[in-house]
Amino acid sequence: MILDAGNFIDRNVPFNHIASKYIMKILALSGIEVMGVGPQDLTLGRENLLKLIDHSPINVVSANLPGFLPYVRLNKGGEKILITSVIDPELMEKYYLEYDREVIDPVTALKRLQKKIDHDYFIVIVQALGERISEIINGCPGIDLAVDGLTRSISNNLDRQGVVPLICNNRMGQYVNYLEYRPGAVKTLNKPVLMRASAKTVKEDPEIKAIVASYNKDKIKYSREQREKKAIRKMHEVMRENPSNLYLGNRACESCHPVSSKKWQKTRHADAMQILLKKGREDDPECVKCHVTGMPIKAATNMDKIVTEVGGFSSLVETPWMTNVQCEACHGPGANHAQKPRQNRMRTAGEKGCLVCHTENTDPDFNFQKKFRLIEHSEKKGK
C-alpha cells in the first residue's frame, strides 16, 4: 500500500495549473493509492482541485474538508485499513487560505470516522505544525499510525506522539519511508526503511519520462506566452507615455499575409537564431543584432535611416518571439500598419536595408540581385 501526504503543489510556481495535471498522472503511475489534502494543494482552489481529482485513480481524502472524499477503507492481507487526512484550521489561516465551506474541527472529524467506520487499522495524515500535531493525534485515541504531512525530514526513526507512531513526510519525493506491519494480538511496526530515489538506484520509467517531457514543453510554452503578454503590457505603457510605432512579431503578420509567411518560413532568415545557437554565439551582441528583429542597430552609412522603435528583441528570455529575421526586420515595425493598413504602408525592402547586416566583413560575397531571389515572397498573382 502506497500513501502520499499531499502538498504536491508548489504555491510559488506560476504554472501550477499546468504542473498539477502532470504530477497527478505521475503519482498515479507510481502506484499511489491514497493521498491527503495539504494546504499547498488548496492554493489551486477547491473546485479546480476536485476537477483534477475526478480524472485521477488516486483516492484523495480529507475528513474535515467538506467536499472531499472523507476516507477510504482498503482491504490488505485480510485487514480493513481505514485511511484519512485532516488539516488544521489554524494552518489554513497561516497560509491565508480561504475555504468556501466550514472546516470541521480535526479531532471531531476523526472521532466521527473512528466510531462510524468499521476497521482493523487506522492511519491518519496530519497537516499541522508544532504542538498541534500532538494535540490532534492524542485527541483521538485509537489511531494506529500518523503521517506528518508538513515536516520534511529524512530521519529513519519512528517517532511517537504519546503512544501513536508518527513518521515524517518525505523530502519532495527524493526519499521514501517504507514500513512493515505485522498483524496479530499486538500490532507492531518495524522501524521505517529510508529509500532514496535517485537516477543511480531507480530505473527510469519510459512512460513517466515522456510525461515529464510533455510537461516541460507546456511549461516553456506557457512561460513564453506570459513573458510575451508582460512585454506587450509594458509596450502599451510606453506607447501611452510616448506614442510611437512598435514591433509585433511575425505572428501578427501571418493572419493577413499567409502566403508570404509560408515563403518566409522556408528561407534562412526564419532560422537565423539557430545559426548562432549552434555556434554558441547567441549572447554575442555583435552577432545577435542581425539574427533577430527590432534590436537597435547602427545603420550603415549608405542607408537613409533606421528608426529605433519600441518592442523589438531584447533577450532570448524576455522576447523569444522576436528571434530570427522576421517581416519587421526588413519592413519596419507593424503596429501602425496593423491598425490602419491603407493609411500606414509598410516600408519596402531594398538593398540599403540588406546592407545593414550583409556587410563586407560579415558577408563579403553578398550580391543583392542574387540573394533577393532567395527571399522574394510577393503575394501578387503569378508569383
Mean model confidence pLDDT for the chain: 83
Confidence of residue 169 (pLDDT cuts 50, 70, 90): low
Q: Are strands 72-76 and 79-87 parallel, antiparallel or unpaired?
A: antiparallel
Q: How confident is the model at residue 183 (pLDDT cuts 50, 70, 90)?
A: low
Domains, the chain, in order of start with CATH, read 3-203 (3.60.21.10), 244-375 (1.10.1130.10)
Strand 79-87 to strand 193-196: parallel, antiparallel, or no bridges (unpaired)? unpaired
Q: Which pLDDT score, from 0 to 100, does residue 304 have?
A: 40
The secondary element (H helix, E strand) that includes residue 238 is helix 206-241
Q: SS3 for 178-228, per residue?
A: ECCEECCCCCEECCCEEEECCCCCCCCCHHHHHHHHHHHHHHHHHHHHHHH
Nearest to 122 by CA among 73, 161, 169: 73
Residues 6+ apart with CB under 8 A from 18: 215, 218, 219, 222
Cell (9 digits) for 366 = 553578398
Q: Which residue has the higher pLDDT, 143 or 361?
A: 143
| pLDDT tens, position by position, 226-246 | 877 777 777 667 656 655 678
pLDDT digits (tens, 9 = 90+) for 117-136: 999 999 999 999 888 998 99
- Specify the pLDDT at position 17: 82
**Which tens digits make up the pLDDT trace of 302-338?**
334 434 456 788 888 888 889 999 999 999 898 889 8
Contacts of 46 (CB under 8 A, 6+ apart): 65, 67, 99, 100, 101
Note the pTM of the prediction, 2 decimals. 0.61
Binned at pLDDT 50, 70 and 90, residue 300 comes out as: very low
Instruction: Determine the pLDDT at residue 97.
Output: 85
CA distance 271 to 262: 13
